[in-house]
Amino acid sequence: MIDLYRTMARIRAFELAAEVASQGGVQVFGAKMNDRAKVRGPLHLSIGQEAVAVGVCAHLTRTDLLTSTHRGHGHTLAKGGNMRRMMAELFGRADGNNGGKGGSMHIADFSVGMLGANGVVTAGLPIACGAAQALKLQGKPDIVVCFFGDGATNRGPFLEALNWAAVYRLPVLFVCEDNRYSATTATSGLTAGPGVVARGESLGVPGESVDGNDIEAVFEAAGRLVAQVRSGQGPQLLHALTWRVRGHVSVDQQGYRDPEDLRSAVEADPLRQARERALARGATAAELDAVDAAVQIEIEDAVAFANASPAPDPEHAFTDIQTTGAGTWH
């Protein structure tokens, strides 16, 4: 429990620091920002959803693969991503994971099997299937975990990916991180039928739902499903119902949201629940306070590292991109 709490605390601290650093720039969602922002580009926070990333990734090895969403800081950190390089990437600096080119929405770290966040809703699902197909063809024992949001279930690639995974019995765990909102609209008003688990089962992908803010419940359910995927039983689906405390992006004031709904999200804080559970399991307040103190030192170091990192060399602007061969860059 202390290890799980520590990873959740690291994610929360990272995102709170990134939120502060993002407060600048242009007019977005009615919020006026100044031009002193350190974070380059949109910032989608997963504050309130930490238990899903941690409970799932706790069962993965370094060589297992992972695909994420535009809200992927927690997934990357839970998979073992370097906090310093991640913050530098958000700041658009040369020492970032992707040389400052990917930013928050496209952060990746192949060294820990994190194939990338993605600014396109549902895009991670077919990428995960491709990665899982490659692992199967190569006879490797690793698996793929694919995180996606509830909004993705209403897009075509969701159907295509689950069908592909089921037909070829691919070693992939699909994790629906259901925070109840598709950008600024409640997903419940956009979704017909009994939900994501039923949709998965209709395609031959077994699934189960879990309280995504209960770290022990997520950990136990993910452990069972990961074991089934590893044993060759084909794709599985975990539906984790959670809450998004912040807006769609860091400067979203959430004027569209029922205040009671937001209060429920705050009260269900998974970090608070994890702390209480750890204390109930025998941890001491002093131990958890020490974890918090160490995390704070780590995040301050990451911000300092990002601030000190140089801007990317302009000469590298046209590296790591694709050309058609006709002198046209994409």
User: What pLDDT, in 10s, does the model give residues 212-225?
Assistant: 999 999 999 999 99
**E strand residue ranges, the chain:** 65-67, 114-116, 144-149, 172-178, 181-182, 185-186, 207-211, 236-241
Q: What is the pLDDT of residues 284-304, one digit of tens each?
A: 999 999 999 999 999 999 999
Q: Return the closest-CA partner of residue 174 out of 112, 131, 215.
A: 131
Residues in the chain: 330
pTM: 0.93
Facing residues of 186 across strands? 181
Which residues have a Cβ under 8 Å from the Cβ of 173 and sit 6 or more positions away? 56, 143, 144, 145, 146, 222, 225, 226, 229, 235, 236, 237, 238
Of the candidate ranges 32-36, 148-152, 265-269, the one whose mean pLDDT is the lowest: 32-36
Q: What angle do CA 308, 313, 314 make, to 5 degrees?
A: 135
Q: Return the closest-CA partner of residue 16 out of 292, 218, 316.
A: 292
The residue-averaged pLDDT of 166-184 equals: 96
Contact 309, 84 (CB under 8 A): no
pLDDT at 97 over 50: yes
Amino acid at residue number 3: D
Q: Which token pair is 172?
A: 């992939």
Which residues have a Cβ under 8 Å from the Cβ of 130 and sit 6 or more positions away? none
Q: How confident is the model at residue 183 (pLDDT cuts 50, 70, 90)?
A: very high
Query: Does residue 107 or residue 29 have the better pLDDT?
Result: 107
pLDDT at 30 over 90: no
Q: What is the pLDDT of residue 252?
A: 87
CA 323 to chain centre: 30
pLDDT at 327 over 80: no
**Domains of the chain in sequence order:** 2-308 (3.40.50.970)
Q: What is the pLDDT of residue 23?
A: 83
Q: What is the pLDDT of residues 72-95, one digit of tens each?
A: 999 999 999 999 999 999 999 999
Bridge pairing between strands 185-186 and 181-182: antiparallel
pLDDT at 251 over 90: no
